[in-house]
Amino acid sequence: MADLRFLIVDDFSTMRRIVRNLLKESGFTDADEAEDGVAALHKLRNSKFDFVVTDINMPNMNGFQLLSEIKKDDKLKHLPVLMVTAEARKEDIVMAAQNGAAGYIVKPFTKATLEEKVTLILKKMGL
CB 28 within 8 A of CB 118: yes
Q: How many folded domains does the chain comprise?
A: 1
CB 43 within 8 A of CB 67: no
Structural domain contains residue 1: no
Average pLDDT over residues 21-45: 97
Question: What's 30's domain CATH number?
Answer: 3.40.50.2300
Structural domain contains residue 22: yes
The distance of Cα 59 from the centroid of its chain, to the nearest Å, equals 16
**The predicted structure's pLDDT at residue 3:** 85
pTM for this predicted structure = 0.95
Which tens digits make up the pLDDT trace of 54-76? 999 999 999 999 999 999 999 99
How far apart CA 13 and CA 67 sit, in angstroms, is 20
How far apart CA 22 and CA 31 sit, in angstroms, is 11
* Domain ranges, residue 107: 6-125
Look at strands 5-9 and 81-85 and give their pairing: unpaired
Confidence of residue 2 (pLDDT cuts 50, 70, 90): low
* Mean pLDDT (the chain, rounded): 94
